Amino acid sequence: MRARKALALFSTFACLAAAAVVGSTVGAGSAAAQPGCPSLYVVAIPGTWEHGNDVGLLGAVTNGLPRNIRTDYVGYPATAFPWEADVYGVSKQQAVNNARGMVTSMVGACPGTRIALLGYSQGADAAGDLAAEIGTGIGAIPANKVAAVGLLSDPRRSPTDALVGPPVGGAGAGGPRVGGFGWVSQQTRTFCAAGDLYCSTASDDFFVRGAGFFAQLSDPSPANIWRYSQEGGAIVNDLLAAGGVGVLQQQFNDQANERREQELRTFYQSGIHQDYRNYVVDRNGATATQWLRNWLLDVA
């Protein structure tokens, strides 16, 4: 019974694990937008289960921005479980595809308009992937069109990403993006509250790292085999360096499973993952959402 309970817990967390420093800003430095076009186009991707008319957490960033800034929210399933509309990987990929289409259309219609990408939780996963596409030269628009990328609780956060707020350990549960953000690294900021397991999984927590990896693999693409190989290889190499199979046995025995169940229950009940409206990230007392809002105003 305990083994079945642990497996169910692992499966649940695999679906959710990826769902859910620098205080300077990047100057505009571009030509003014054409008449009728915004100076800044914000494409915002909500988190898991924030869909339909629910802009969710990111509304605290975008509501009431001036008219020279246009904001559109990306519609996508925003689901995670196999019994919902789509599994996590399919849902996230739809968010990436829809956001890509939106920024491409805007740049085509308004070449002088600059782009900002925002995302929270699963939305940060998607926005970060799109930013990485653009920054590494395989995106649909040039990297110099991107003014800002803001990621709240990114399940693919890397320890090398530009973090705004107090230092946190570990990395995103889904594993860092291979190649990083490339040419948009200077325009990208990430936010991760201490204790938010989606964006701060310990490097030696192979249970959560494995769950996050399998969540990313829930919609595998042959074009990404090289990436899956590198990301899976990183987990295996870290596991071998930490002690191999013996470490796994310690992390999956009955006692460890019971402890993890309690830790996950405590995490979900804490509300840390949903609290970025109140999470203070600088010495002036700005919260993560306030900081992002001020940044958009600065770069517009």
User: What is the DSSP code string of 269-293?
Assistant: HHTGGG-TTT-B-STT--BHHHHHH
- Render pLDDT for 54-94 as a digit per residue (tens, 0 to 9): 589 999 999 999 999 999 999 998 886 655 567 888 889 99
With cut-offs at 50, 70 and 90, classify the pLDDT of residue 193.
very high
The pLDDT of residue 8 is above 50: no
Mean pLDDT value across the chain = 82
Mean per-residue pLDDT, 8-37: 46
pLDDT at site 63: 94
pLDDT at site 151: 98
- Render pLDDT for 194-206 as a digit per residue (tens, 0 to 9): 999 999 987 767 6
The pLDDT of residue 226 is above 80: no
- Render pLDDT for 124-178 as a digit per residue (tens, 0 to 9): 999 999 999 999 999 989 999 999 999 999 999 999 999 999 999 999 988 889 8
> How many CB atoms neighbour CB 261 within 10 A?
16
**Dist CA 205 CA 247 (whole Å):** 10
With cut-offs at 50, 70 and 90, classify the pLDDT of residue 16.
very low
pLDDT at site 202: 79
**Dist CA 92 CA 98 (whole Å):** 10
Query: Looking at domain 21-201+272-299, what is its CATH homologous superfamily?
Result: Alpha/Beta hydrolase fold, catalytic domain (3.40.50.1820)
**Dist CA 272 CA 49 (whole Å):** 17
Comparing 144 with 254, which gets the higher pLDDT? 144
pLDDT at site 240: 64
Domain edges within the chain: 21-201+272-299
Comparing 118 with 220, which gets the higher pLDDT? 118
Highest mean pLDDT among 17-21, 84-88, 183-187, 227-231: 183-187
The pLDDT of residue 293 is above 50: yes
Torsion-angle region of residue 125: left (phi > 0), alpha (psi -120 to 50) or beta? alpha
Q: With pLDDT > 70 as the criterion, what percentage of the chain qualifies?
A: 72
pLDDT at site 111: 95
pLDDT at site 206: 67
**Does the pTM exceed 0.85?**
no
Residues 6+ apart with CB under 8 A from 287: 276, 277, 278, 279, 280, 281
